[in-house]
A and B are shown apart, each in its own frame.
Chain A
Amino acid sequence: MNYILHILVLLEIYILLAISANQKVGFSGLLSLAQAVIYGVGAYGIAIFSSHLEIGYWIPFILAIGSCLILGLIFSFIAGKVIELYFSLATLAVQIIFFSVIYNSELTNGSYGISGIASPNVFGYEINSPLEFSIYAGVWIMIVIIFLKRFYSSPLHKLIKATKDDEIAVLNLGKNPKYYKRISILISCLISGIAGTIYASYASYIDPSSFTLDESILILSIVLIGGSGRLIGPIVGALIYILLPEILKFLNIPEMIAANMRMILFGLILVLIVRFRPNGILGKKTFK
């Protein structure tokens, strides 16, 4: 039972991460390779602030999310300066710099990681067991989905999508495309940050190996496989990613090979999708 709940919590975390990446990739067309950076800042933020300040859970939580948003401003600065391939490469550089910093810094305790991270405390009730965490993460997903549902029908979101489709047209309307990219990135950072705090509290131990370039690529491919630009896409992608190894287990494939096979299947689906439906991903509309 606990194992199923553990899988459920992981699934919920990946759903949040994929929804966050979808905001950038699907609605703003920013193929970022630094998804794990914001996730990591959320996780390390809660770990460092809660252990150094010792003032409950929620003030460190707000500080951690605040750090993610500051990082979001850096990403939006990059998005304002370079586009397309060079944006992807710049975020790739940020990802590697981030890993290098958390691996070497005294503050993050280097490769040893940080243990004993505080658990969330909701109205005096401490959340500890996998069951409680799955409910806690589920509540966050509900909040995020309700918020996004409302947000997607707002005029602001239409302009975000318009910025992706045709930046110059948006400029012609007298609107600043950089502003809409920034909003999109900040929302994405907010959601990733929440996922990071949930992961850190749930695992109660974090180290740099959870926030590598591979993780960033993985999150991005979850979105692309599920289908970007719709709310259901990232959820489907996360389901496929989490449930695939369980299916392989049923087929009696040894665990070591199953891990490789999962990545091979994932890579294969990814390549086939970008090969045969490239425009379905960035969704550039062209007039014929």
Chain B
Amino acid sequence: MTAASPSIDAVQPPQTAHNPGSIGRAFGAAWRGLVGVLFCLNPLTSVAVLGWLMRTMRREAAIAMVKRTVGLRRRAVLERLSANPPLAGLAKPPNWFSSGPQGDGSRLQRLFGGLRKNVELGFATIASLCVAVVPFGLLLLLGWWAGWDNSFNKGYEQAWVGPLIAWIGIFLALAALSYLPMGLAHQASEGRLRAFFDIKQVRALTGYAGWRYVGLALLYLVCAVPIFALRGMPVFIENIYPGFAGLDAEGLVQFENRYRLLAAIYVFAAVVFLRKQAARIYAGAMLRALSAGEGWARGTFASRLLSDLAVAPSKAPVRTPGRFKRFLLGAARVMLWFGVIVLIVVGQFLNHSWVFWVSYPLIALPWLP
């Protein structure tokens, strides 16, 4: 991804001619789900899922913006996008591998252009996550390590070090996690890496999103519970599955494969759900920003999209939240994200993994360590 890339789906050509029926759509959804789950089984292939999610978010944000602006149903919106050549790429869900039947370039590029795009965007997302997630993840890891290592060695004199690092990590995590979903949605929508760091705009969008963004934090917390259960399940596996201790090597491999597959299915479904929700909330917030006449909103993808479709955002007056409401919204978000952190930490007590500190499946790589 280049900093000035105009479109996240530049390689995806217009597809106005091809409009599959319901069976075709179901088959396509199953295929996308299958590949997504398989890619979530491995940390390397999950990079492509990260990129694919960014393309999905952009599409979802576009659909949501058009839907809300013109009041059409989803199918009508998709038809309208299909009919508009510069936007037709958004009418179809992003491909995992190919760049589409009418893609440009060589046959190889057409066959794997989509995968290349997914991987490129995946690494661009990792760059954002490295800035937003890895620092607090590392602090939590170091706090955990330092605290327990010191406790093991009975270093009473520096007993404060581990907890201090951990608390700094937690405060950083609360700030970063409150920012992250909107930041990623903005990056996905704008199709450029630097958009993630448009801190002023993302904060403004967070304000425009209001309670919906608090709701998103709640969804993250709810979706984190099964992750906690998946991490904790192996600990009690002999109680859950009494024959486990008697499995031979082959049986163990099969069991572990089934467990990994179950985890990948959930992780993929959860991240798709959460990212789509984030994109929809972003879309609503961006429309409110446009309606409010925010200067920075002009020239954004949302603005261009509406312009290309010759529609204008609502002129209804937009009330920005006051200081007290902003405080309430922020406090609610922080409490919910703190719940996610508690689940991460308690989950680490149940089933520890150093990688899990820096790559939580709903936030970073969609893969369960």
- Asked if A and B bind, the verdict is no
- Interface on B for A, CB 8 Å cutoff? none
